Structure 1
Amino acid sequence: MPPTDHRRATAERNAEAILGAAEAQMARGTAVSISSVAADAGVSRVTLYAHFPTREALIEGVVTRVVGQVRDALADARLDDGPALETLDRVIAIGWDHLDRGGAIARVGADALTPAAMDRAHAALHEPLGALIRRGQASGEFRDDLSVAWLLTTFFAVMHAAGEQLRAGALAPEDAVGVLQPTLRSVFAKPAG
């Protein structure tokens, strides 16, 4: 292996180890510090800072990674098949499953990141969800008096609000999808008449 490839492979392994350590700490609800993440990842602080120059960049990296896992799950969800409203229901169920499992990560991300950083971290979902919204608007199932961008923003806001309600004890995990689906359907569905 040429030296450049070896260095790149080492850098990729280090970045993956750093993200894995930070994700594990966030999932446990442990305070994420550069020192503790570096120690758990088996890298120096200098190496960690080379990949993530700030704590916020590290947290954004973890949220981006988790959102990528949701994107991968949505790739198997047949977003181009069936009526758009039924597809929306599948997206909500998949999204909730990941949000419920990653609730502590979502909370740390929401507390530590700016709205712009949260938007960047969710960018991997903008295209598949935006395509679903455009398909639903073209078929007449989704309202077209609101922009794709606004419907995306509303989708993420409602999903994360459900996560906050769950953490506050106001929503039972087994009830979440049953609350989210009709709520988001009412936002997305084209009004009758």
Structure 2
Amino acid sequence: METETVSPVSEERRAELILGAACRLFLGPGRVNMDDLARDLGMAKKTIYRHFPDRHSLLTAVLDRQFGAIERTLAAAADEARDQPFGEQVRRFLVAAGAELERIGAAQLATGRGDAVLRRHVEQRIDTVVYQRLDALFEDGHRRGLLSAPPALLGAITRGAVERLLNSPLPRELGCTAAELLRTTVDTVLHGAIRRPGDESDESEVTS
């Protein structure tokens, strides 16, 4: 009996459908298992496992896709703010990052959901995609003489603010998003740290 062959294009399309559905379900509220995914797709679990050997490999692919999208969003935000004052560049970058991380629940994934390997994967991707870019932005501001505080200190403060707000019930209690609160936090923290034209340098300021 002849074995049915599936074209590479249709196999690629099926893998894309699986990944798309997994992004929608696994990054949504509540816990979802492979049975839920198979039911949503209307296909057998063995078909899913043919493309993704286990839940771990599927979730890793989901996270990589989402962080790829975040990276593109942050690159676009940086390009749009390129000619803006330094403070506006930082603000737009952080607001875009906060909105994207909030949207996919990255903080919750990093601290409470999934296994330890996936948590480390999320933490590493957040560090690479968001925090290393933020550190580079602060270092650039420091080289240009635009910061009155060490870039490492500002990086640590903003990291803490991002992670705290994404995990906090405060946005819900105040009826706003974590990204909106992050915008206020960034404006408050950076107001005294970014030098404006005409500011006099102060030898007593903490510098690196």
TM-score, normalization: structure 2? 0.65
Bigger fraction of residues in helix: 1
Q: Does 1:88 align with 2:81?
A: no
Residues 166 and 173, structure 1, Cα contact 8 Å, conserved in 2: no
Q: Does 1:101 align with 2:103?
A: yes
Q: Does 1:49 align with 2:54?
A: no
Change (3 A) 1:48 1:84: farther
Cα displacement (A) at 1:50: 4.5
Render the CA deviation track for 1:98-117: whole Å, top value 9, x for unaligned: 234334x6524542253421
2:190 — aligned with what?
Answer: 185
Aligned identity (percent) is: 22
Cα displacement (A) at 1:22: 2.0
1:34 — aligned with what?
Answer: 34
1:3 — aligned with what?
Answer: none
CA RMSD of aligned residues (A): 3.7
Render the CA deviation track for 1:130-177: whole Å, top value 9, x for unaligned: 542332232233554629xx93x7645532321221478445325513
Correspondences of 1:149-168 after superposition (within 5 Å): 151=155, 155-166=158-169
The more displaced of 138-147 and 89-98 is 138-147
Change (3 A) 1:38 1:83: same
Q: How many residues align?
A: 183
1:17 — aligned with what?
Answer: 17
Which segments of 5 or more consecutive residues in structure 2 lack a partner in the other structure?
A: 1-6, 196-200
Letter of the 2:165 partner, please give it: A
1:146 maps to which of 127, 152, 161: 152
Cα displacement (A) at 1:87: 0.8
Structure 1 residue runs of 4 or more that deviate by more than 6 Å after TM superposition:
none
1:62 — aligned with what?
Answer: 62
Which segments of 5 or more consecutive residues in structure 1 lack a partner in the other structure?
A: 1-5
TM-score, normalization: structure 1? 0.68
Render the CA deviation track for 1:66-95: whole Å, top value 9, x for unaligned: 222222222222254333332110012212
The more displaced of 122-131 and 132-141 is 122-131
Change (3 A) 1:116 1:107: closer
Q: Which has the higher relative contact order, 1 or 2, with Cα contacts under 8 A spaced 6 or more apart?
A: 1
